[in-house]
């Protein structure tokens, strides 16, 4: 009977470990997904404003006055970046071609996927720029 209790205890302990690992993995993956969503240009703008507010102890009035200035600067920086987009893509394409020559086919596929994700972030930034350029009256 004590052997049976030992095995049941071990099975329960193993099951609890599997359940804990599964829940932990789910929570980690969900947090990572949320973090990825917080990387866009709007999130960047919000992080900068939050950092300024906390770091400088801005009053509500100062926040209202500074936010449009920050928006204009952010838009101007995005415009500068996109004005050089062609050059950036040429440099990246050459670099990727040079790198791919040293990678396995599996690694090349992963690199291609990483580049597609980068292009998606660029599109998100470009859409943000077009939307906010009109509202900021640049």
What DSSP string describes 43-87?
A: HHHHHHHHHHHHHHT--HHHHHHHHHHHHHHHHHHHHHHHHTHHH
Nearest-angstrom CA–CA distance, 78 and 132: 11
Q: Does residue 65 register a pLDDT over 90?
A: yes
- The pair of structure tokens assigned to 54 is 């906390």
What sign has the CA pseudo-torsion 20, 23, 28, 29? positive
Average pLDDT, the chain: 85
**pLDDT classification of 57: cutoffs 50, 70, 90:** very high
Comparing 31 with 117, which gets the higher pLDDT?
A: 117
Write the DSSP symbol of residue 58: -
Residue 74: Cβ within 10 Å count: 20
Nearest-angstrom CA–CA distance, 86 and 90: 6
Nearest-angstrom CA–CA distance, 84 and 93: 14
Report pLDDT for 110: 93
Q: Does residue 138 register a pLDDT over 50?
A: no
Report pLDDT for 11: 87
């Amino acid at each position: 009977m004590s052997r049976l209790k030992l095995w049941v205890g071990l099975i329960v302990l193993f099951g609890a470990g599997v359940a804990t690992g599964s829940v932990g993995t789910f929570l980690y993956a969900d947090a990572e997904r949320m973090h990825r969503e917080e990387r866009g240009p709007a999130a960047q703008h919000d992080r900068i404003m939050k950092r300024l507010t906390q770091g400088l102890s801005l009053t509500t009035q100062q926040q209202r006055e500074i936010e449009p200035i920050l928006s204009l600067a952010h838009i101007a920086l995005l415009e500068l970046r996109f004005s050089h987009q062609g050059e950036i893509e040429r440099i990246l394409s050459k670099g990727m071609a040079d790198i791919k020559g040293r990678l396995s086919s599996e690694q090349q596929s992963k690199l291609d996927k990483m580049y597609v994700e980068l292009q998606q972030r660029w599109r998100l930034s470009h859409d943000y720029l077009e939307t906010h350029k009109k509202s900021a009256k640049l």
